[in-house]
Structure 1
Amino acid sequence: MRDSSDDLVHDPKGGMPRLIEIMRRLRDPQTGCPWDLEQDFGTIAPYTIEEAYEVADAIERKAWDELKGELGDLLFQSVFHAQMAAERGLFTFDEVADTMSDKMVARHPHVFGDQSRNKSAEQQTRDWEAIKAEERAAKAETGVLDGVALGLPALLRAVKLQNRAARVGFDWPSTDEVMDKLAEEMDELRQSPDANARFEEFGDLLFVMANLARHLKIDPEAALRAANSKFTRRFGHIEQALAEQGRRPEDSNLAEMDALWDAAKAKEKAK
């Protein structure tokens, strides 16, 4: 017997109601998908993070034909979490959307309220932070660093922690002091007596690098992704050059590959 929701499930123009119904059906205890039924918030969270990175990857590559699908994958993660929450009586997807709408209206009184839009971007940023501080206080998050999510990528979380501390004056006045601290941490890493000390000092070094990025107004995650892309591109040139000779990287040596790397670098700079 055809389920009454089948028309919606198979409606190519069904929009959000269709997606929500598909998710409900996937989690139906009697007729749903065994894999989907086994999942919980913890098991789905890694997929949510992965999908967010795939959205960022499509944007970085300017793969606009892929972006729609990647955004859909990310949206599905929100629907999946909301469905599990609804099953527990916690909240629904509509409540998630309403919560976000309420937050955006409250945080933009210069758009949706009676405040003037005649503000600088800096003033709007200060107003935004003041509103968020009030929200954290309402959640009993009274510490300066409260509410910075533990699940963030470590580099991004470092920047957010430092930004919070900087708002109350705990910050180097210029990049000069950060550079000095960077040199200090490098020396401490060199002098580390054992593996545990190296681990700690390396973490300190990365933390200072994140601080330097913040002072230089550089997104360290984006900068590292760009460096990864550059490394991949130039190593690909090495592989291609060797393949033209019927060889692979393991058939070469460091000096030859380094020369091919320099050639790839020069070629890029020439462009």
Structure 2
Amino acid sequence: MRCVRSLIAAGAASLISSVAFAADMPIAPPPYAPPPVEDFGGWYLRGDIGFSNQSVKEVRNGNEALYTPLLSLNQQTGFDTGGIFGLGVGYQFNNWFRADVTGQYRGRTNFHGQDLVTFPLGGGVIGAGSDNYGASKSEWLVLANAYVDLGTWWCVTPFIGAGVGAARVTISNFTDQGLADFSPGVIAPGFALANSASKWNFAWAAHAGLAYRVSPNLTLEVAYSYVDLGSGLTGPVTTFQGFTTNNPMNFRDITSHDLKLGVRWNLDSPQPVYAPPPLVRKG
């Protein structure tokens, strides 16, 4: 009987010892995975909408001989605001450099212009005249752009950039209403028009803006661009009576100050990776 009690006591002591030993054993951790690393690289798609504020250096007839006898020429020109719609694809190389290729349709805008001229009539008499121009203009613009991101504060990243490419400038619905005063008091009205024409030019742009990273995939932009679109031209100018010299009107050095809202969607955003808590021991 004493042996039985001894065996029971020994078994109980062994069980208690095993439980205590197991309590001191470390808990097996789940497989280790490194903490997530923020990845700035990858392909992205972009879209932009905005509006343009355009200007042209001068508008002149292709027949320069028309300007030779003038004593003075004062020209005023302007475009209405036009819409901008763009799409593109790009790549973020690291946390400060990215590049993309964009295509824009720059919506039709109305053009208004006026020439005020004086010219000699002989015998010291000076005549005066005016030309009032009207037209519309639109463009397709393709640019290869590169950007430098200047650091991020509270998810906002300022950036600068530049682009080069080509612009297809189309001038449509050109009209010219002229009025000349041949002193003393002889008024001669005139009217001319021109067919639409398009012209491809080298184009370039400078960019600056702010980007806000909403999520690892989505970034919003507010941006400004200065764009040089090159020149445009009309078809040959023809008078109301059908007379033409086969000379177009040249729109020289068209530039624009653009304001845009943009969206970038990252196609290669990394997925979150589970990182286990540190190993904890008892005792």
Q: Which has the higher contact order (CA 8 A, sep 6+)?
A: 2
Structure of greater Rg = 2
Q: TM-score, normalised by structure 1?
A: 0.15
